[in-house]
Amino acid sequence: MSQRRALLRLVVPMAALVVGLSVAGCGSSAAEQDSKGQLDIWVRKPPGTETEQTAKDLAAAFTEKTGVPTKVTAIFEDFETKLSQAAAQKQLPDIVINDTAQLGTLVKQGLVREIAKDSVEGHDQLTPISWDAATAADGKAYAVPFSAQTFALLIRKDWREKVGAGVPSTWDELNALATKFTKDDPDGNGEADTYGYVVPGSTKRGYTAWYFSSFLWAAGGDFFTGEPGKYTPAINSAASLAAVEWFQKSFCDGLVVPGAATLETTQAHPNFESGVGGIYLTGPYMMGKFDAKPGKDLYEVVPLPAGPGGAPAALAEGENVYLMAGSDNQDGQERFAEFAVSVEGQTLAMDGDQPGNIVRLPVNSTVDLASVRTDPRWQTFDDIYQSSARYVPQVPEWTPFLQSSAETLNAVVSNCDTPAGTALDELAATFAEELGRQGAGG
């Protein structure tokens, strides 16, 4: 065990370690390591929720098993800002459990340690696609994958049956269903107060592009073409343009809930919950909320169909365990990451069929999903993840591309007179410039 941990430490980039030590204040040299020191763990979860409690339960189980004390802090609003503030104050936590999309930014800031995959106990049990989420543009891992998720269509089944439509298997059928939901009074109240699509279309945190990425890929479009380090823009390709024009038309035809272009996810959810919109592309984490209202029997989980000229696809994401640079308990960091991805850790964090899950889909391939969760809808999400899910492109920093995409898409759907082709050509030029700045272009 000690030899394996020594190997992991040897791969920590010295530059990143120096930066981490200067900002973290968690320890000043390897000589000051304390393998029994408390691990401060930050999780991006709303305080006071079932998910916070599950994170605390996971940490408590780790402490019971290893004797290493832990303290869990749940933060949801402005998590990244507060993490930056902690770095500036030299008070970084030891462990951060946060979105996979934050990998590039954390690496760029020098706040995380490089991980030697083969040195992680149980590494061979983790699915290859999950390691993609922990691997940066330079091909090196800077985190341990912890939780995976992908997206599916949640459709009001009672509405669909009321308007006499089948489960959509093409985009034409999907749009036809959205039209019926908008025009055929599926809730039967005699009012024109229902819509097809629920869309979190705000530019905040890049939501417009985050939501749209599944549709872009399913239509055969893409953000880039090429391979990491040699990318060229593909956002203005014919397939990408067709997908964006389809997206714009759904807004302009009135098939999307009102105000969608300003909605963040937390503001979009109530539109499905209260029966304003009947089709919502979202993750499995929403099932607990929607099972209560509108009700488990009133909606169904369906894969997003392939778009014209495309193939089934859906955004893959999740969370990683980040080992923050500068910790004075690196041994404890590593042991926590290994416990979190073990069968015991993954099972505990999945929380069965209860709403407190912090592992949505397990990254450990030896976990039997059906034995932990009896709800077969989780298997639908897992099938999508295993067969057609994709993580965002491996660039040094994804955020600039996400944000510029969101701003362009938001402008296109907010004004029906905006020519999508011109907007995407301008976005492609922005992409090319940013790829060059990051050294990621071909």
pLDDT (0 to 100) of residue 6? 35
Element (H, E) at 173: helix 171-183
Nearest to 62 by CA among 92, 32, 93, 95: 95
pLDDT (0 to 100) of residue 235? 98
Q: How far apart are CA 106 and CA 133, in angstroms?
A: 13
Residue whose tokens read 């691990």: 39
pTM, two decimal places: 0.86
Nearest to 284 by CA among 359, 374, 219, 207: 359
Phi-psi region of 227 (alpha: psi -120 to 50; beta: other; left: phi over 0): beta
Name, in order, each residue with C-beta under 8 angstroms of 400's C-beta and a sequence gap of 6 or more.
434
Structure-token pair, residue 310: 């495309």
Q: How far apart are CA 85 and CA 76, in angstroms?
A: 15
Calculate the CA 278 to chain-centre distance.
Answer: 23
- CATH of residue 34's domain is 3.40.190.10
Q: How far apart are CA 226 and CA 58, in angstroms?
A: 40
pLDDT (0 to 100) of residue 130? 94
pLDDT (0 to 100) of residue 101? 87
Q: Do 159 and 145 fall within a single domain?
A: no
pLDDT (0 to 100) of residue 107? 93
pLDDT (0 to 100) of residue 19? 42
Q: Do 97 and 85 fall within a single domain?
A: yes
Q: Do 302 and 344 fall within a single domain?
A: no
Q: Do 24 and 63 fall within a single domain?
A: yes
Last residue in a domain, options 359, 375, 390: 390
Q: Do 220 and 94 fall within a single domain?
A: no
Domain count, the chain: 2
pLDDT (0 to 100) of residue 442? 85
Q: Do 378 and 239 fall within a single domain?
A: no
Q: pLDDT in tens for each of the 442 residues of the chain?
A: 433 333 333 343 333 433 444 444 443 345 489 999 999 999 999 999 999 999 999 999 999 999 999 999 999 999 999 999 999 999 999 999 999 989 998 999 999 999 999 999 999 999 999 999 999 999 999 999 999 999 999 999 999 999 999 999 999 999 999 999 999 999 999 999 999 999 999 999 999 999 999 999 999 999 999 999 999 999 999 999 999 999 999 999 999 999 999 999 999 999 999 999 999 999 998 998 999 999 999 999 999 999 998 999 999 999 999 999 999 999 999 999 999 999 999 999 999 988 899 999 999 999 999 999 999 999 999 999 999 999 999 999 999 999 999 999 999 999 999 999 999 999 999 999 999 999 999 8
Last residue in a domain, options 357, 374, 390: 390
As to burial, measured by CB atoms within 10 angstroms (0-12 exposed, 13-18 middle, 19+ buried), residue 159 is buried
pLDDT (0 to 100) of residue 284? 93
Q: Do 405 and 306 fall within a single domain?
A: yes
Q: Do 408 and 369 fall within a single domain?
A: no
Q: Do 113 and 213 fall within a single domain?
A: no
Contact 302, 232 (CB under 8 A): no
pLDDT (0 to 100) of residue 83? 96
- Structural domain including 285 reads 152-315+395-438
Q: Do 170 and 263 fall within a single domain?
A: yes
Q: Do 383 and 407 fall within a single domain?
A: no
| DSSP letter string, 216-252 | HHHTT--SEES-TTSBEE-TTSHHHHHHHHHHHHHHH
Strands 317-323 and 95-99: antiparallel
Q: Do 177 and 106 fall within a single domain?
A: no
